[in-house]
Chains A and B, each alone.
Chain A
Amino acid sequence: MSLLIHAISASPCDEPPRGLAGVPLVWVPAGELGLWASPSEGPLDRELVFDHHRIVEQLCARTACLPVRFGQRVEDEDVARERLAARAGELGATLRRIGGRQEIAITLLWQCSPVIEGRGHRVQASTPGRRFLETRGQAFADEDGRRAAAEALAERLVRELAVDQADVRHAICPAPDLALSSSLLAVPGAAEQAKEDAVRVTATLEGVRAVVSGPWPPYTFAETA
């Protein structure tokens, strides 16, 4: 039976959580690492996404883990072992860096379009062709303005929250109404304080509405090159 992979850790833990649909989790050791997985056949659906998250969260609460992206399925334990062994070095290094830590998410939504001095212009052309080009030019200038404002917000967050650059990831303007989607890596035991700090700092930002979420396992920081 194929296996849906949940997380990677250095050692098994006592009393692991139940796997998907309540079945026991499978531990597949491979050298200095191992992975947790559930037997899984058939289509992957929305319920399984959140069941996967429950398992990852409970594993991370018991031992230092790297969360695996939902939907990673292998044919059997031998293939799982092979895949893990092939990347043991980089995964082990990432696990040592982020194991035991948690992620806080900060989302900033535009409340109004930022006004950037010296950017953009009014479309004044009278002919269709020129009007088209000027409209396009204005759209690009607006986009640049939003991006510059979002980058300034990201820099301000990093500065005021006093986080290490290695412990933060930003997605600048990931959607038209979103200024920023950021992830912060909190040290063990300090995630709630980090969240409170993020709420306090984002409340002072103008022109955006902030939503602070988490903590949850460090999905964003588990990605390797």
Chain B
Amino acid sequence: MSLLELTDRLLNRGVVLTGEATISVAGVDLIYLGLNLVLTAVETMSEKQKTA
């Protein structure tokens, strides 16, 4: 979760000088990749809680 929170900040916060950049990794927008990682991690955590 800490890494995901950090990723969210690196991609979505901080000073913007040049306008929003389109950052892609293998065709996936990195901006959205960060959020998806967070959601995936939360879903995984929820599943673990349910099975525990």
Contacts and interface: CB of A to CB of B under 8 A. Distances in A.
A binds B: yes
A73 B30 contact: no
B2 to A, nearest CB: 4
A91 interface: yes
Contacts, number: 110
A211 B1 contact: yes
A216 B9 contact: yes
A67 B5 contact: no
B39 to A, nearest CB: 6
Contact of A72 (B1, B7, B18, B45): B18
Interface in A53-94: 53, 66-74, 80, 83-84, 87, 91, 94
B14 A70 contact: yes
Interface residues of A, number: 47
Contacts of A67: 14-15
Contacts of B39: 175
A177 to B, nearest CB: 4
B23 A224 contact: no
A111 B49 contact: yes
A44 B6 contact: no
Contacts of A69: 10-16
A199 interface: no
A175 B21 contact: no
A109 B30 CA distance: 24
Contacts of A43: 24-25
B15 A213 contact: no
Given A211-B1, A211-B2, A213-B5, A72 B13 contact: no
Interface of B: 1-2, 5-18, 21, 23-25, 30, 35, 38-39, 42-43, 45-46, 49
15 contacts: A5-B17, A44-B23, A52-B10, A69-B12, A71-B21, A73-B18, A83-B18, A84-B17, A105-B5, A105-B6, A109-B45, A111-B49, A175-B35, A176-B42, A177-B46
